Amino acid sequence: MAGKLAVIGAGLMGAGIAQVSAQAGWDVVLRDVTDEALKRGTEGIKASYDKFVAKGKLEAHDADAALARITATTDLDAVADADVVVEAVFEKLEIKHEIFRALDKLVKDEAILASNTSAIPITKIAAATERPERVVGAHFFSPVPMMQLCELVRGYKTSDETLAKAREFAESVGKTCIVVNRDVAGFVTTRLICALVVEAAKLQESGVASAEDIDLACKLGFGHAMGPLATADLTGVDILLHATNNIYTESQDEKFAAPELMRRMVDAGDIGRKSGQGFYKH
């Protein structure tokens, strides 16, 4: 299916989506607001390609060709002729609305506008545009080059054609899709992991069991590759707290009411692997 892809946001997720798409033959425009962010993103992509080459999973010439298909820019106008646009910026509705309003005026009528959001309802994002039928959720998982799943989310007005094209895109870059037919906050995967992390954190907070034993129970008892608290450290306790708060605000479901422990950890900067301390010391 390869064509022209625009990725808005050169952070971990955006860079990962750009990486797998370029490797699959897409011409990619990677856009962010600063040159520094773009430099970090493109350097991360090159480092990831280099690792795959070193492990014999990617030929050096294929890595060079993929890297050459990525154009980094701070100019939003550069995305105007994209066939698919994937927004991958911070999980705040106001920021996403600003981007989608701009994209709505800029991109061609037949373009697919996708959001990589993990928790914000697509219907709310699409409401900022005059083409809500062309807006869809395309929730990739981190690290994007390693994780096979893509969660496709239908907003209230997302058309069957848009959903089909989003699936075609995701499958073209090597992902397996699930479809969320009603865009409740958190969709399927974020609701599941947030509920599990919140309950695991409550068990640790109240002294029922240690983080190590809670995670071990999930690994050995349920066959999980990684326990929920280790997953929180990998993802970022701050990111999961933000997602949980979004779901709780939308649903008022008490199982998504984050425990004080998670809030205090975030306030203190103990947010997981990226800070060196979370539920575990790293």
Nearest Cα to Cα of residue 48 among 17, 85, 4: 17
What pLDDT sits at residue 200? Answer: 98
Residue 208 placed within a domain: yes
Tell me which residue has tokens 């975030």: 266
50 and 136, same structural domain?
Answer: yes
Give pLDDT, residue 240: 94
Per-residue pLDDT reduced to its tens digit, 95-109: 999 999 999 999 999
Residue 185 lies in a domain: no
| Same domain? 254 vs 135 | no
pLDDT at 91: 86
- Report the number of distinct structural domains present in the chain: 2
Range of the domain at 61: 4-180
Structural domain contains residue 163? yes
Contact 167, 194 (CB under 8 A): no
Q: Please tell me whether the overall predicted TM-score, pTM, comes out greater than 0.85 for this model.
A: yes
- Domain assignment of residue 279, yes or no: no
| CA torsion through residues 113, 117, 120, 121, sign | positive
Domain finish residue from 180, 209, 225: 180
Q: Is residue 57 part of a domain?
A: yes
What is the rounded average pLDDT for all residues in the chain? 96
Report if residue 14 sits inside a domain. yes
pLDDT at 48: 97
Q: Do 144 and 167 fall into the same domain?
A: yes
If asked whether residues 22 and 43 sit together in one domain, one would say yes
Closest CA to 193 of 144, 154, 141, 228: 228
The domain that contains 226 carries what CATH number?
1.10.1040.50
CB atoms within 10 A of CB 227: 24
Query: Tens of pLDDT along the chain (282 residues)?
Result: 779 999 999 999 999 999 999 999 999 999 999 999 999 999 999 999 999 999 999 999 999 999 999 999 999 999 999 999 999 998 889 999 999 999 999 999 999 999 999 888 999 999 999 999 999 999 999 899 999 999 999 999 999 999 999 999 999 999 999 999 999 989 999 999 999 999 999 999 999 999 999 999 999 999 999 999 999 999 899 999 999 998 999 899 999 999 999 999 999 999 999 999 999 999
Q: How far is C-alpha 185 from the chain's CA centre?
A: 15
Task: Give the CATH number of the domain where residue 121 resides.
Answer: 3.40.50.720
Q: Are residues 26 and 83 in the same domain?
A: yes
Assess whether 206 and 137 both reside in one domain.
no
Q: Are residues 32 and 171 in the same domain?
A: yes
User: What pLDDT is attached to residue 142?
Assistant: 86
The residue among 117, 150, 180 that closes a domain is 180
The verdict on residue 274 lying in a domain is no
Question: For residue 185, what pLDDT is reported?
Answer: 87
Residue 56 falls inside a structural domain:
yes
Residues 88 and 211 in one domain: no
Answer yes or no: do 148 and 219 share one domain: no
**95 and 171: one domain?**
yes
Q: Tell me the one-letter amino acid at 207.
A: G
Which of 180, 203, 236 is the C-terminal boundary of a domain? 180
Q: Does 107 share its domain with 139?
A: yes
Q: State whether 220 and 169 are in the same domain.
A: no
Position 63 scores a pLDDT of 97
